[in-house]
Structure 1
Amino acid sequence: MKLIKTEEELKSLIAADEWMMAVITAVEKLQLPDSWACAGFIRSKVWDHLHEKEYRTPLADIDVIYFDKVNSLEKYEKQYEQELTKYLPNEPWSVKNQARMHVVNNSEPYQSSIDGMAHFPEIPTAIGVRLTNGRLEIAAPHGIKHLVSGIVAPTPYFQKDSPMHEVYLNRVRNKQWELSWSELQIVY
């Protein structure tokens, strides 16, 4: 396994990937409030790196999140997906406003995109990246240790004693990440 130890090393890994930078640049062009490319977009890159894969593992979608309490209807998300398609037409965009996503997790309203990320089911999925004044910025509400170590564990909201734990377990079973990344350590 090729280890990454710091956020700076993670930023360097992302910055060296032309495709990832094109995605992040497209997201920045939308100028959405509190926006991030996140989740599997970063997680898969890191796991591919840890497993020394020569080619990128295909993504089901590219998750983009933002936070806008004023325009919180789903129709706006679809419009932003269409706008992103103008920049990179062959990508599977998925845009979600975290101002409304708390309903999915049956939780209190989120206060920001990072708060939304903190409520993702798995710790290594709770990660975002964006360009701010030409520089990469990482958001990792639970840190990067699990991600860069190949450990899949639930975020606090999805822990074993939580009513949401079954959601975490179902995701881990359905995603079958261990088939693509054999050295992951999955906490059930």
Structure 2
Amino acid sequence: MVLSAQDVVGMIESDPTAMNVLRAAADLALPDWWIGAGFVRNRVWDSISGLPASPERDVDVAYFDPERLDPREDARAEAQAMAALPGVPWEIRNQARMHLRNGDEPYTSALDAISRWPETATCVAVTLRGDAVRLVCCHGPADLVGMVVRPSPAFDNAAGRATVRRRLEVKGWLDRWAGLRLEI
């Protein structure tokens, strides 16, 4: 099965659970917010593999607000999200300060930060603008829809490739998705 970016958007839009999560995130009114990583990637890989939906390990909400750098703001947003949708494993982080933890130059937006996540197929995110789902694949959709595990440019070095290999093992991706193609 070959999917397009529009197919991925349709997959998210037709998933009531995903749409409830997106609506709850939108209600937080965070600036420049996106839900990325496994929220998108796992749904796509499960669909391609004909598997039932993976349980959410975490729902990575990345937002960008240089005026709200206190980590307690993230905790408040997580508490608000948990009140709206209990049981969802929310992880809400302001990317305007995450460069400090990651040893990067300051990020310019949430998508700039997401583009530096470990694998190209993880550097994907969706947001809700009005009723429309918007998808961004920071390094293009080919690896996401092709089930390719490849380091993102930020991780395309010896240490980064080792990180990707560790993540692959710890997260059990090969056990879950036997059809993954590794380009590490």
State how far apart, in whole Å, the 2-side matches of 1:108 and 1:164 are: 17
Corresponding residue of 2:125:
128
State how far apart, in whole Å, the 2-side matches of 1:30 and 1:85 are: 11
State how far apart, in whole Å, the 2-side matches of 1:172 and 1:99 are: 27
CA shift, 1:10, in A, is 1.0
CA shift, 1:143, in A, is 1.0
Q: Deviations over 1:157-188 (max 9, x none)?
A: 10035x54332232223222011111111222
> What does 1:78-117 correspond to in 2, within 5 Å?
78-117=75-114
State how far apart, in whole Å, the 1-side matches of 2:160 and 2:142 are: 23
Q: Is 2:143 aligned against 1:142?
A: no
Structure 1 unaligned blocks of 5 or more: none
Normalised by the size of structure 1, how large is the TM-score?
Answer: 0.93
Normalised by the size of structure 2, how large is the TM-score?
Answer: 0.95
Q: Which moved more, 1:56-65 or 1:117-126?
A: 56-65
State how far apart, in whole Å, the 2-side matches of 1:173 and 1:52 are: 22
Corresponding residue of 1:7:
5
State how far apart, in whole Å, the 2-side matches of 1:104 and 1:124 are: 22
Q: Is 2:72 aligned against 1:60?
A: no
SS at match of 1:37: strand
Q: Which amino acid aligns with 1:33?
A: P
SS at match of 2:32: coil
Q: Matched residue pairs, number?
A: 184
Consecutive aligned runs of 4 or more in structure 1 exceeding 6 Å deviation: none
Corresponding residue of 2:34:
36
Corresponding residue of 1:177:
173
Q: Out of 73, 97, 107, which is 2:70 matched to? A: 73
CA contact (8 A) 2:34 2:62 kept: yes
